[in-house]
Amino acid sequence: MNRKWAILFGILALLTVGALVFREQAPTVKGGPADLGDTAWLLTATGLVLLMTPGLSFFYAGMVSTKNVISTMLQSFIALGVVSILWVVVGFSLCFGESFHGLIGNPMTYFMFRAVGAATHPDLAPTIPLVVFAMFQLKFAVITPALITGSFAERVRFSAYLLFIFLFTIFIYCPLAHWTWHPQGFLRQWGVLDFAGGTVVHMSAGFAALAAAIVLGRRRSHKEGDVHAPANIPYVLLGTGMLWFGWFGLTLVPRSGRMGRPPWRSRRRTWPRRRLCWAGSSSTVRGVACRRR
C-alpha cells in the first residue's frame, strides 16, 4: 500500500478510537421543548440540500471529457465523506462552538459531537434538536468545496484535492461560517444576514474557484485551439434539475435568528410566496452562470 494512503487510513483509525473514548456528554445549555413541525421541516430541508451534491456531480461530469467523467463525479462524492468526518471531529465546533471574540469557535465545545443530541439550544436551535441543526449545516459545508471543483476539473490529482478539502474547510469555511451564522460572530454583530449561503457558501466557493483558475492558468487545449466536446449533455440537465429541486431546501429555511421556524410560521403571509419565487429565479441564474463558466 502507498505510504500516504497508509497514513490516511491510520488517521481514520485514530479518529474511530477517539470517538469511542470521548463518551456522550449531556448538553450544558438547553432550550425549550422541540417543535415537531419545525423538526420535520428541517429534516426535509436537510435531505433536499443533501441531494444537491450528487446533482452537482452530474452537472459537472456532463461537461468534462469522457475519460474524466468518473473522477469528476467522485470529487463531489468524496466531499461527503471527508467533510462529514471533519464536521464531527472539529468543524461544527469551529463554526458554532463558544465564540472567541467573534472570530472562531472553541474547537472543544462540540469536539467529536459531544453534547450534540436531541436537546434544543436557546441560540442555535431553539425549536429543533441540536443534532438536526448540525446535520443541516453539514450539508452546506459539504457542497461548498464541491462547488469549487468546476474551476479545476480534469486538472488536479485526487490526493491534492483531498488536502484541499481539508485546508479549505478548516481555514476558510469554518471561520466564515462562524463570522456570519454564529450569534456572536463579528459579521453577524454588524448586522450581516445570510439567508441562503450567499456569503458563506457562494462567495467563498466563488473566490476560491477564481483563485484556482488564476493559479492553474489557461488549459493547454485552449492554447492549442482544440475543440472541447462535453461528455453527456443529459447529465448536465439531470444535475440542473437535482440542484434546482434541492435548492428549495437551501433557500426556504430562514436564518434570521430562528433556524427552526418554517415558512408557514412566518409573521408575513407573503413571505413564502416571495421566497419561493426568489429560490426559483436564483436557481435559474446560477445554472446559466455555471454553464457559461
Q: In this structure, what CATH number is given to the domain that contains residue 155?
A: 1.10.3430.10
Domain assignment present for residue 3? The answer is no
Domain assignment present for residue 19? The answer is no
* Greatest Cα-to-Cα distance within the chain, rounded to the nearest angstrom: 64
Output phi, psi for 125, to 5 deg: -145, 75
CB 252 within 8 A of CB 260: no
Do β-strands 99-100 and 104-105 pair in parallel, antiparallel, or remain unpaired? antiparallel
* DSSP 8-state class, residue 125: B
**Number of structural domains the chain divides into:** 1
User: What is the pLDDT, as a whole number, of residue 290?
Assistant: 40
User: What is the pLDDT, as a whole number, of residue 245?
Assistant: 93
Domain assignment present for residue 176? The answer is yes
Start-to-end CA distance of the chain, whole Å, equals 38
3-state secondary structure the chain: CCHHHHHHHHHHHHHHHHHHHCCCCCCCCCCCCCCHHHHHHHHHHHHHHHHHHHHHHHHHHCCCCHHHHHHHHHHHHHHHHHHHHHHHHHHHHHHHCCEECCCEECCCCCHHHCCCCCCCECCCECCCCHHHHHHHHHHHHHHHHHHHHHHCCCCCCHHHHHHHHHHHHHHHHHHHHHHHHCCCCHHHHCCCCCCCCHHHHHHHHHHHHHHHHHHHCCCHHHHCCCCCCCCCHHHHHHHHHHHHHHHHHHHCCCCCCCCCCCHHHCCCCCHHHHHHHHHHHHHHHHHHHHHHC
Q: Where do we find the cell 497514513?
A: 7
Domain assignment present for residue 184? The answer is yes
Q: What does the pLDDT profile of the chain (293 residues) look like in tens digits?
A: 577 666 766 776 676 666 666 656 666 667 788 899 889 999 999 999 999 999 999 999 999 988 899 999 999 999 999 999 999 999 999 999 999 999 999 999 998 888 888 899 988 988 999 999 999 999 999 999 999 998 998 888 888 999 999 999 999 999 999 999 999 999 999 998 887 788 899 999 999 999 999 998 887 776 777 777 788 999 999 999 999 999 888 877 654 334 444 443 443 433 343 344 334 434 443 443 344 34
Domain assignment present for residue 177? The answer is yes
Domain assignment present for residue 9? The answer is no
Alpha helix positions (H), 22-105: 36-61, 69-86, 92-96
Domain that holds residue 225: 30-292
Give the 3-state secondary structure of residue 260: coil
User: What is the pLDDT, as a whole number, of residue 243?
Assistant: 94
Domain assignment present for residue 22? The answer is no
Domain assignment present for residue 10? The answer is no
Q: Where do we find the cell 471529457?
A: 65
**Is this structure's pTM higher than 0.75?**
yes
